[in-house]
């Protein structure tokens, strides 16, 4: 019983520390320490878990990938590559598509509160179409977060697949309908707002330079989908930005010294350490016995817990780090259907959370009424989440274990 209490206390401690803006990696490690101490096993469990984590090739590949992704985003931003790409796309894309594409492109640059980067770029078209503040906020938030189902360079997707042992290509292939549905929902909701207004005269169209501008992103994604390691694929993308922008050696060094987010890399290592600690401690076995004894349906557990954790944590990587190690053993071996339902719950809770930094900053920037934003955002999220659950129940026959 002490193992279960330790697991619950660790869970609470993570949230308390994060609410006080305590470091993510440190919060996870403290929680892992609580689980280890209450596991009833010798204190050498800490050494054992550290060695398992450090010797796992996946640990270092994932840390390298996340580190390179942060450098990639920094390079695209600091060279103004992304800004110029958007200006070229603006010359030939219609307003209704451009308004969606701008936050989607910036969504590829993984950074907290990154929606604030795309909001100013959407303002000219939003002003011309006389969009209301809540409409602008919805468009910026919704389309920024479409990549969870299709981007192999999304740290959250990468972390989820790595912990679950699901291949990125398999995850993206199976969940491609979810990616398309996300776009369809966004366009359906916003279509009536942006269908009015005549298109203004655009600048000179330059398709070739636009394609060149997109090439670092397209090549990175393509390489990942043909099973090139993510860190290597992103490294190629960084190299392409350096060549295209003719960056000198001094700035290249700056990309890696200032661009890499070591706190995010440390958080990834801490998350994997936490995962192995949960596995080694045996606390999940106690949890499983209690859950099954209470007669709680597994599917309900896999929907509600990730949703709540995603909403409270307001950070998908933290939600994944907490939920995946705890719930995965309940259906071992984990498959892509259970994994996606967990992931969807975390993403849905996170996107709609009032603690979500992107939502907070966008809402402040456009001075929108959050209640009015939720009239569009919450139904969209619930529709997407419901489809995901139904889709994966049908795909994986998940009614059988209930």
The per-residue pLDDT for 67 is: 87
Q: So what's the pLDDT on residue 346?
A: 95
Q: Which residues contact 371 (CB under 8 A, 6 or more apart)?
A: none
Q: Are 185 and 383 in contact (CB under 8 A)?
A: yes
Digit-coded pLDDT (tens) for 76-111: 888 988 778 877 877 777 777 888 988 898 888 766
CB 76 within 8 A of CB 70: no
Extract the tokens encoding 4.
């279960």
Check if the beta carbon of residue 134 is closer than 8 Å to that of residue 372.
Answer: yes
CB 39 within 8 A of CB 283: yes
Domain ranges of the chain: 2-192+202-396
pLDDT at 402 over 50: no
pLDDT band at 378 (very low <50, low <70, confident <90, very high): very high
The per-residue pLDDT for 110 is 67
Round to whole Å and give the CA distance between 231 and 62. Answer: 8
Q: Which residue has the higher pLDDT, 402 or 203?
A: 203
| d(C-alpha 65, C-alpha 62), whole Å | 5
Report DSSP letters for 22-58, one per residue.
--HHHHHHHHHHHHHHTTSS-TTHHHHHHHHHHH-HH
Mind giving me the DSSP string for 163-202?
A: HHT--HHHHHHHTHHHHHHHHHHHHHHHHHHHS-SPPPPP
Give per-residue pLDDT as tens, 30-40.
989 998 998 88
Per-residue pLDDT band at 203 (split at 50, 70, 90): low
Q: Among the listed ranges 68-72, 108-112, 305-309, which one has the minimum average pLDDT value?
A: 108-112
Task: Determine the average pLDDT of the residues in 201-210.
Answer: 70
Write the Ramachandran bin of 282: left for phi over 0, alpha for psi from -120 to 50, otherwise beta: left
Rounded Cα distance, 323 and 307, in Å: 10
Give the orientation angle of helix 370-396 with respect to helix 357-366, to 10 degrees: 150
């Amino acid at each position: 019983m002490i193992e279960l209490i330790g697991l619950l206390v660790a869970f609470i401690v993570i949230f308390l520390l994060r609410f006080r803006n305590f470091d993510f990696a440190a919060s996870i490690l403290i929680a892992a320490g609580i689980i280890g101490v209450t596991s009833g096993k010798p204190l050498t469990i800490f050494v054992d878990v550290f060695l398992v984590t450090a010797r796992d090739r996946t640990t270092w590949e994932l840390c390298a990938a996340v580190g390179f992704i942060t450098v990639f985003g920094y390079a695209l931003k600091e060279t103004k590559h992304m800004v110029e790409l958007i200006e070229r796309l603006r010359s030939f894309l219609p307003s209704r598509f451009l308004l969606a594409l701008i936050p989607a492109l910036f969504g590829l640059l993984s950074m907290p509160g990154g929606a604030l980067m795309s909001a100013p770029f959407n303002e000219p078209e939003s002003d011309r179409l006389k969009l209301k503040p809540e409409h602008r906020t919805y468009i910026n938030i919704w389309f920024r977060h479409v990549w969870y189902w299709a981007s192999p360079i999304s740290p959250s997707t990468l972390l989820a697949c790595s912990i679950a042992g699901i291949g990125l290509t398999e995850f993206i292939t199976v969940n491609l309908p979810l990616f398309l549905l996300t776009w369809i929902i966004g366009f359906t909701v916003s279509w009536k707002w942006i269908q009015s207004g005549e298109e203004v005269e655009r600048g000179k169209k330059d398709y070739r330079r636009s394609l060149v501008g997109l090439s670092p992103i397209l090549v990175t994604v393509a390489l990942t989908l043909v099973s090139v390691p993510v860190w290597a694929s992103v490294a190629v993308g960084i190299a392409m930005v350096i060549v295209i922008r003719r960056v000198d050696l001094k700035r290249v060094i700056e990309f890696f010294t200032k661009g890499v987010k070591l706190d995010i890399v440390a958080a990834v290592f801490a998350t994997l350490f936490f995962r192995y600690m949960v596995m080694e401690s045996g606390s999940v076995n106690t949890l499983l016995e209690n859950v099954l004894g209470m007669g709680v349906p597994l599917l309900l557990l896999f929907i509600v817990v990730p949703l709540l954790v995603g909403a409270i944590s307001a950070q998908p990587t933290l939600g994944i780090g907490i939920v995946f190690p705890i719930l995965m053993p309940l259906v071992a071996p984990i498959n892509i259907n259970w994994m996606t339902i967990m992931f969807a719950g975390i993403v849905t809770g996170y996107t709609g959370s009032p603690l979500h930094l992107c939502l907070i900053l966008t809402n402040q920037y456009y001075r929108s009424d959050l209640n009015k934003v939720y009239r569009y955002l919450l139904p969209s999220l619930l529709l997407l989440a419901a489809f995901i659950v139904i889709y994966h129940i049908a795909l994986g026959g998940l009614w059988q274990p209930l």
